[in-house]
Amino acid sequence: MSSPKPSRDIAGLIAIMAALRTPQTGCPWDLEQDFSTIAPYTIEEAYEVADAIARADMGDLTEELGDLLLQVVFHARMGEEAGLFDFGDVVEAITAKLIRRHPHVFGDEDRTDAEAVKGAWSRIKAEEKAARAKRRAEAGLPDDSTGRILDGVPLPLPALTRALKLQEKAGKVGFDWNDARQVLAKIREEADEVAEALDHQDRHALQDEVGDLLFAVVNLARHAGIDPEAALRGTNDKFTRRFGHIEDRLAAQGRRPQETSLADMEALWVEAKAREREARAPSDSQSGSTS
């Protein structure tokens, strides 16, 4: 077949995906895939979009959004081959949802009353949940809803994100701390329990207690208005940057980390922190910060 041309038209991407999935003439790798094997790539591409945004790299963001769109087209193509749904069904489903969930924009409901909008959202979500249960029953699928408060928080979410969403749902019905300092006290309590598990060298208890500690830290971030995923990503970047400084300084001395004492590396770590503090100083003083 003739080589397709790059196109701004979504139909071109759909046609390319169809060609890749055509038996005998398509790509052997693409033809071997199914929903379950592609799902990990879909998650990975979403993270790469988030990474490009965090780096403020709009060139990369354009490319990564394309990669993410490919995942949607890939799933839609497999759905079409199985006679389940196609790309048009996917687009129709999301446009219908957006219109349905925004009656204050596309309907005649009051768009200026925040409480009314919030109430409408809850009502619409409940209606969608009932419709989904009916659809699954008609299709002979098991009811995956118990009617409990924490239903609907997806299991495949990263643990940190899922912890946040579980806490948010429980908090909406009053199962929550009153302020961040109460959560901080809970963190200290959980840290003491981690110490106790370490003293007893109980690996099972230690895993359990570390999990409780992490859960409590997520709760603190939520109460403080901090996105725990963003906070941890920032710390990961900071650690990477400072450790890179250690490697660079050692390389300049003809040394490697594995040949260096912890004390020497710690000194270089402190040096990296000091340099970052100095680099921030002008902007900090302009903003009135004393941190």
Would you say residue 287 has pLDDT above 60?
no
Give the pLDDT confidence score for residue 146 in this predicted structure: 64
pLDDT in tens, 238-273: 999 999 999 999 999 999 999 999 999 999 999 999
Mean pLDDT of all residues belonging to the chain = 90
| Mean pLDDT value of segment 73-84 | 98
Would you say residue 66 has pLDDT above 80?
yes
Can 10-138 and 159-223 be said to share one CATH topology?
A: yes
Banded model confidence at residue 284, pLDDT cuts 50, 70, 90: low
Give the pLDDT confidence score for residue 290 in this predicted structure: 43
Q: What is the largest CA-CA distance in the chain?
A: 72
Would you say residue 95 has pLDDT above 50?
yes
- Assigned superfamily of 159-223: MazG-like (1.10.287.1080)
CA 74 → CA 50, 144, 157, distances in Å? Answer: 20, 26, 21
pTM of this structure: 0.67
Banded model confidence at residue 110, pLDDT cuts 50, 70, 90: low
Residues 60 and 67: their CA atoms lie apart, in Å, by 10
Decide yes or no: CATH 3.30.420.40 for domain 10-138: no
pLDDT in tens, 33-51: 999 999 999 999 998 998 8
| Mean pLDDT value of segment 273-291 | 70
Would you say residue 217 has pLDDT above 90?
yes
Q: Where are the domains of the chain?
A: 10-138, 159-223, 228-283
Would you say residue 237 has pLDDT above 60?
yes
Q: Name the least confident of 105-114, 131-140, 175-184, 259-268.
A: 105-114
Would you say residue 61 has pLDDT above 90?
yes
Give the pLDDT confidence score for residue 282 in this predicted structure: 65
**Contact (CB, 8 A) for 222 and 167:** yes
CA 93 → CA 89, 131, 184, distances in Å? Answer: 6, 13, 43
- Tell which wins on pLDDT, 148 or 207: 207
- Tell which wins on pLDDT, 279 or 143: 279
Residues 6 or more apart whose CB falls under 8 angstroms from that of 78 comprise: 21, 33, 34, 35, 38
Other Cβ atoms within 10 Å of 217 Cβ, number: 21
Give the pLDDT confidence score for residue 285 in this predicted structure: 52
Would you say residue 69 has pLDDT above 60?
yes
- Tell which wins on pLDDT, 35 or 155: 35
Give the pLDDT confidence score for residue 1 in this predicted structure: 62
pLDDT over 90 percentage in the chain = 69
Give the pLDDT confidence score for residue 143 in this predicted structure: 67
- Mean pLDDT is highest, among 49-58, 63-72, 133-142, for 63-72
Residues 274 and 289: their CA atoms lie apart, in Å, by 16
| Mean pLDDT value of segment 17-40 | 97
Other Cβ atoms within 10 Å of 287 Cβ, number: 9
Banded model confidence at residue 133, pLDDT cuts 50, 70, 90: confident
